[in-house]
Amino acid sequence: MKSSDRPPRKVIPIAAATPDPSAEGEFVSLYEAQKKIYPRSISGYFARWRWAMVFLTQIVFYGLPWLEWGQRQMVLFDLGARRFYIFGLVLYPQDFIYLTGLLIISALSLFLFTAVAGRLWCGFACPQTVYTEIFMWIEHKIEGDRSARLRLDAGPWTFEKIRKKFLKQAVWVAVSLWTGFTFVGYFVPIRELGPELLAFAGGWQIFWVLFYGLATYGNAGFMREQVCKYMCPYARFQSAMFDRDTLIVTYDEARGEPRGPRVKTVDYKAKGLGDCIDCTLCVQVCPVGIDIRKGLQYECIGCGLCVDACNTVMDKMHYPKGLIRYSTQNGVLNRWNQSQILRHVLRPRVLIYTAVLVALCVGMLVSLTTRTPLKVDIVRDRAALSRIVAGGKLENVYRLQIMNATEATQRYRISASGLDDLEVASEQEVDIGAAESRWVAVRLQIPYGSAPPGSHAIHFDISALESGGKVAEKSIFLVPR
Ligand code: SF4
Ligand code: SF4
């Protein structure tokens, strides 16, 4: 078909092709630009708890890697040497079961706390919450409270604005880098890390300090509530763990509505008003920018700041506190008192979670305290499966990795059993340094012809002479035809 034969293309004017946003029902934007939230600071019971948790978690996080245990760092995850030091424990990759146990306990704890008290973790202990709180505190100290920050952002770029913004960014960067440094200090001895970084030695260390620092800066300085809203999966599946007897931050609609402003001296009940004066203070303090009066929303991190804000207002109005409060949906609906609410909180699934959690914790503690601080791996020497040696003996060669998980040098005795006249022809006692592992070549011999051809189950016994621990490991002894 010649181009001249084709039907002329229909040209749509741009104005017609682009739907008019003002024409209702024609244009729906799938993207809503993020609005910056300017939370107002508030003091009160929950705000104090939040700060207590900030101090507690950060004293532990920043302080722990600087503490010593004997001659070494108290908590160190030495990935290079494949050894974890936790207080008096020296764990090897073979102790992975404890990490699995710890993860199961953490997951179960999260289920239990969520079933009992909603998003306690999110509101008070999650690193995203804690660092956002620290970064907002810095912002508040440098740029002022909500109204001052709103004015500053809306105003022109003056010298004062540049000074404040620069200072805030500089302090944020310093906190982020220190956080990255501390984090890496859990994997590399922290006292050696500083000099290494200053000398620009250790490329990986520099990379991870910058990476973790950047993540802290981005998440706590800029992303903030968006991490909780759009990135964290916990916010999405928490509703599966909630029920009507879960403690959550709730607005007492029956008491608060109809909301509206009023004069303090006028009897608002006679005018048909509820207790909510519609001051929006609860919305202004909310770090995720929601209005709790619209009911439970997945964005709510359960921080309780709106409770503090509303209680302040109730105090000023001389109304009873608790228009917004920590309660359960059933508690608010049935107007239960505290003991009635608590009785319903202790429901079967909470008791089951608690029982399983306690059993797991006890099991893990018993296992940790009774574990033998000795690990052994056995590898058969594939180059020499079986051979006849001087003296008419048949020999099999093995490599034993002996891991000393104590803080002192240990002498270990190696013996083997499972066949008549089986003996260790190589070194029978070895010394292994504190928290070290060593490969040891072991030769086992039997008199030639004392066992029929085939593969025979045997086991090695490795016993610590000083500490008394003992480990038995299975292997096989090959007799050729
Ligand atoms: S702080 Fe209390 S009184 Fe003010 S709007 Fe919120 S719920 Fe109503
Ligand atoms: S609604 Fe209240 S409890 Fe929920 S995030 Fe906002 S301030 Fe915190």
Q: Whose CA is nearest to atom 8 of ligand 1?
A: 276
Q: Ligand 2: distance of its center to the CA of 355 in Å?
A: 31
Ligand nearest to the CA of 310: 1
144 pLDDT higher than 60: yes
pLDDT score recorded for residue 29? 65
Task: Give me the chain's average pLDDT, please.
Answer: 88
**CA 172/CA 15 separation, integer angstroms:** 46
Q: Ligand 1: distance of its center to the CA of 52 in Å?
A: 25
All structural domains of the chain: 36-371 (no CATH), 374-479 (2.60.40.10)
Read off the pLDDT of each residue in 23-52 and give the average, rounded to a whole number: 80
Q: What is the pLDDT confidence band of residue 31, given thresholds at 50, 70 and 90?
A: low
**CA 354/CA 348 separation, integer angstroms:** 10
Q: What is the pLDDT of residues 445-479, one digit of tens each?
A: 999 889 999 999 999 999 998 878 889 999 999 99
Q: Ligand 1: distance of its center to the CA of 472 in Å?
A: 68
Residue 274 in contact with ligand 2 by CB distance below 6 A: no
pTM above 0.85, yes or no: no
Residue 333: count of CB within 10 angstroms of its CB: 14
- From the list 107, 95, 105, the residue with the least C-alpha distance to 360 is 105
**CA 251 to ligand 1: nearest atom:** 7
Q: Whose CA is nearest to atom 4 of ligand 2?
A: 300
414, 462 contact by CB (below 8 A): yes
233 pLDDT higher than 50: yes
Q: Whose CA is nearest to atom 1 of ligand 2?
A: 292
pLDDT score recorded for residue 7? 44
pLDDT score recorded for residue 253? 94
**Residue 333 CB partners (closer than 8 Å, separation 6+):** none
Ligand nearest to the CA of 319: 1
Span of 206-210, 230-234, 460-464 with lowest mean pLDDT:
230-234
Burial string for 340-356 (b: 16+ CB within 10 Å, else e) reads ebeebbeeeebeebeee
pLDDT score recorded for residue 30? 64
Nearest-Å Rg of the Cα atoms of the chain is 33
Report whether the peptide linkage leading into residue 127 is cis, meaning its omega lies within 30 degrees of zero: no
Burial string for 165-200 (b: 16+ CB within 10 Å, else e) reads eeebeeebeebbbebbbbbbbebbebeebeeebeee
Q: What is the pLDDT confidence band of residue 9, given thresholds at 50, 70 and 90?
A: very low
Q: Ligand 2: distance of its center to the CA of 307 in Å?
A: 8
pLDDT score recorded for residue 373? 86
**CA 51/CA 46 separation, integer angstroms:** 9
241 pLDDT higher than 90: no
**CA 302 to ligand 2: nearest atom:** 3
Ligand 1 environment, Cβ below 6 A: 256, 259, 276-282, 293, 309-310, 313, 323-324
Residue 234: count of CB within 10 angstroms of its CB: 15
Higher pLDDT, 132 or 236: 132
**CA 291 to ligand 2: nearest atom:** 1
pLDDT score recorded for residue 313? 96
pLDDT score recorded for residue 18? 42
Q: Which tokens belong to 17? A: 């092709």
Write a three-state SS string for the chain.
CCHHHCCCCCCCCHHHHCCCCCCCCCCCCCCCCCCCCCCCCCCCHHHHHHHHHHHHHHHHHHHHHHCEECCEECEEEECCCCEEEECCEEECHHHHHHHHHHHHHHHHHHHHHHHHHCCHHHHHHCHHHHHHHHHHHHHHHHHCCHHHHHHHHHCCCCHHHHHHHHHHHHHHHHHHHHHHHHHHCCCCCHHHHHHHHHCCCCHHHHHHHHHHHHHHHHHHHHHCHHHHHHHCCHHHHHHHCCCCCCCEEEECHHHHCCCCCCCCCCCCCCCCCCCCCCCCHHHHCCCCCCCHHHCCCCCCCCCCHHHHHHHHHHHHHCCCCCCEEEECHHHHHHCCCHHHHHHHHCCHHHHHHHHHHHHHHHHHHHHHHHCCCEEEEEEECCCCCCEEECCCEEEEEEEEEEEECCCCCEEEEEEEECCCCCEECCCCEEEECCCCEEEEEEEEEEECCCCCCEEEEEEEEEEECCCCCEEEEEEEEEECC
Q: Ligand 2: distance of its center to the CA of 227 in Å?
A: 15
* Residue 110 β-bridge partners: none
**CA 254/CA 386 separation, integer angstroms:** 85
pLDDT score recorded for residue 10? 42
- Tokens 């509703």 map to which residue? 239
* Residue 399 β-bridge partners: 379, 441
Q: Which tokens belong to 75? A: 């908590």
Q: Whose CA is nearest to atom 7 of ligand 1?
A: 276
Q: What is the pLDDT of residues 286-319, one digit of tens each?
A: 999 999 999 888 889 999 999 999 999 999 999 9
Share of the chain above pLDDT 90, in %: 62
Ligand nearest to the CA of 322: 1
Read off the pLDDT of each residue in 86-96 and give the average, rounded to a whole number: 84
**CA 372/CA 370 separation, integer angstroms:** 7
**CA 171/CA 216 separation, integer angstroms:** 13
Q: What is the pLDDT of residues 320-375, one digit of tens each?
A: 999 999 999 999 999 999 899 988 988 888 999 999 999 999 999 999 888 888 88
pLDDT score recorded for residue 463? 93
Q: Whose CA is nearest to atom 5 of ligand 2?
A: 300
